[in-house]
């Protein structure tokens, strides 16, 4: 089962650790801008790894060395998820992240829809959330993002949970190794 509250807490702890270790002292607006750019880039990396939009390619999907396309895409997906959490924490919108088991199940039962449209909707909603300080837009972007993972990419809640925890452990080790 996908425990979004626990994943959010892990993400916040890692960010606090990085901020302390790197002695990062930003104005709140600069910190938010950096997190939004990071989220934007991670969403683009997710799309580029999936290659759903590359209509000119017959064999879609990139894979990191030693990993399948599915594993590589899941890794990019949870990277973007981490920055969704970071933006929510910075904005003090963490209450928008958790969902009940029923809500997550309902999201996962939705029909697949056009990935290009969903991707562009996420970007539009995130920009609206940033520029117009609209929590409802952020929440909707978050739900569309989760739906993509569960429906269009076909990951189970357990796969997403495990991949996020594994990636968080990698990121914690990177900090210990002065990444």
Question: Rounded to 10 degrees, what is the CA torsion of 14, 16, 18, 19?
Answer: 160
What residue spans define the domains of the chain?
A: 4-176
* C-alpha–C-alpha distance, residues 157 and 2, integer Å: 5
Angle at 100 between CA 118 and CA 79, to 5 degrees: 50
**The tokens of 26 are what?**
């930003």
- pLDDT at residue number 112: 96
Query: Which of the four pLDDT bands, split at 50, 70 and 90, describes residue 22?
Result: confident
| pLDDT of 172 strictly over 90 | no
Which residue bears the tokens 């991707």?
119
Instruction: Compute the mean pLDDT over every residue in the chain, rounded to the nearest whole number.
Output: 94
State how far the alpha carbon of 5 is from the alpha carbons of 1, 12, 91, in Å. 12, 11, 16
Which residue bears the tokens 């030693």?
66
Return the SS3 of 72.
helix
User: What tens digit of pLDDT does each residue of 45-70 get?
Assistant: 999 999 999 999 999 999 999 999 99
- Provide the sign of the torsion angle of the four alpha carbons 128, 133, 137, 142, taken in this order: positive
Query: Which of the four pLDDT bands, split at 50, 70 and 90, describes residue 179?
Result: low
Mean pLDDT within 66-82? 97
């Amino acid at each position: 089962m996908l425990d979004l509250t626990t994943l959010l807490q892990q993400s916040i702890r890692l960010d606090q650790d990085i901020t302390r270790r790197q002695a990062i002292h930003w104005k709140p607006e600069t910190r938010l801008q950096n997190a939004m750019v990071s989220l934007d880039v991670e969403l683009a990396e997710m799309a580029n790894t999936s290659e759903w939009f590359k209509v000119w390619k017959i064999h879609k999907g990139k894979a990191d060395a030693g990993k399948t396309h599915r594993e590589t895409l899941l890794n990019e997906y949870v990277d973007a998820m981490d920055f969704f959490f970071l933006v929510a924490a910075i904005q003090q919108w963490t209450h928008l992240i958790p969902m009940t088991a029923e809500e997550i199940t309902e999201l996962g039962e939705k029909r697949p829809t056009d990935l290009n449209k969903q991707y562009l909707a996420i970007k539009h909603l995130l920009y609206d959330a940033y520029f117009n300080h609209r929590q409802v837009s952020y929440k909707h972007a978050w739900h569309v993002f989760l739906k993509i993972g569960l429906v269009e990419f076909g990951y189970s809640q357990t796969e997403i949970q495990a991949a996020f925890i594994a990636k968080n452990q990698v990121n914690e080790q990177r900090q210990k190794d002065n990444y």
